[in-house]
Amino acid sequence: MNENIASGAKVQEIEIDFFRSEDAPGIARLFRQVYGKGYPINIYYSPKRLIEENAVGRVLSSVARTHTGEVVGHDALVLLDPVTRLYENAAGAVLPRFRGQGVFFHLMKHNVFDYAKRFGLQEILGEPVCNHLQLQKMCLQLGYRETGLEVDLMPAAAYTKEQSAHGRVSVLLGYFLHKPMPQTVFLPPVYRDELEYLYAGMGVERTFAGTKEDLSAREDSQGKMDVFTSAQVARMSIHQIGSDFDSFISQLENEACERGVEIFQVWLPLTSPFATAATEILRIHGYFIGGLLPNRFGGDGLLMQKVKCETDWGSIALHSERAKRIADIVRSDQKKMK
């Protein structure tokens, strides 16, 4: 679906559209102009790779272009899990001279609704940045629900060119769409009140079950780690919590440290009765709560996080009262880990 909008006093029409292969060089130029070399995902700098990723559906790009074909804005859905077809809204950029006119809002709307309709998507996550309020406001207008705060996720280098931040940037965690599936979840007692608050604002059907304080004696831990070297971020997704969880996490952490990681994130499956024991082990390692997501990788996920740098809480801009309450939860728990 195409959508035309006006772009200021000259009323130059801007087309919001699905990706075309001829857009790729323009998207690369856009990212160089907006982010310099600082954007942590290099796909958007490579026209060939971006065409390939869109062709197979790992990236779904929405594009804003003028009547002459100049690319002036971009937003994308990025595939996180091919099994559940879980996508994340990311990689937004608009040329400075086209800002303040609704271009990016229409790009996000196209992503969340038009791509979802075209491909039957039912789960879309979002991570609006916290160095300003505009993106958070846009997300809320599109039905976004806030469920966590990822502290110091984005590197300062991504904002150097436009000088919109003086250090690492935190992002809100949440979703636009999710598949409404009832779940039984095991809430770690240390975070029961916090998680009940988060669930209460999500409108999902959940049964809270009792947890096990010990680990499985029969199974090994399983999971994977993705390291984003330029951003100095490691994301560990735990698929199975076993009796070796302590050593399993230590091994992943050591590998991440050798690769210069500063920000550590661990996703625990709340559908596992061993989530409590795993949470306590992570707290011993210095991890604090980040939030949760429904149906992440087939079951609700609890985000635990650890940062090596000193978080500048005064620089975190939050719009809604719910976001501010979530930040209080995260900040309070981070203080306990020091």
Q: Tell me the three state secondary structure of residue 189.
A: helix
Prediction pTM value: 0.89
Q: CA-CA distances (angstroms) from residue 312 to 59, 82, 230, 330?
A: 32, 35, 21, 13
What pLDDT is stored for residue 7 in this prediction? 43
- Alpha-carbon distance of 55 to 82, in angstroms, equals 15
Check residues 303 and 201 and name the one with the higher pLDDT. 303
Please report the domains of the chain, with CATH numbers, ordered by start residue: 3-177 (3.40.630.30), 183-311+323-336 (3.40.630)
Q: CA-CA distances (angstroms) from residue 233 to 35, 60, 110, 230?
A: 18, 23, 29, 8
What pLDDT is stored for residue 158 in this prediction? 67
Tokens of 113: 């609704």
Is-contact 183 300, C-beta < 8 A?
yes
- Extended strands (E) in 178-286: 183-186, 206-209, 222-228, 233-240, 263-269
- Alpha-carbon distance of 338 to 330, in angstroms, equals 13
Residues 6+ apart with CB under 8 A from 94: 34, 64, 72, 73, 74, 103, 104, 107
Q: pLDDT tens-digit profile of 123-136? A: 999 999 999 999 99
- Alpha-carbon distance of 226 to 229, in angstroms, equals 9
Q: pLDDT tens-digit profile of 159-193? A: 656 555 578 999 999 999 888 889 999 999 999 99
The stretch 278-284 carries a mean pLDDT of 96
- Extended strands (E) in 101-196: 124-126, 145-154, 169-177, 183-186
Residues 6+ apart with CB under 8 A from 227: 233, 234, 235, 256, 259, 261
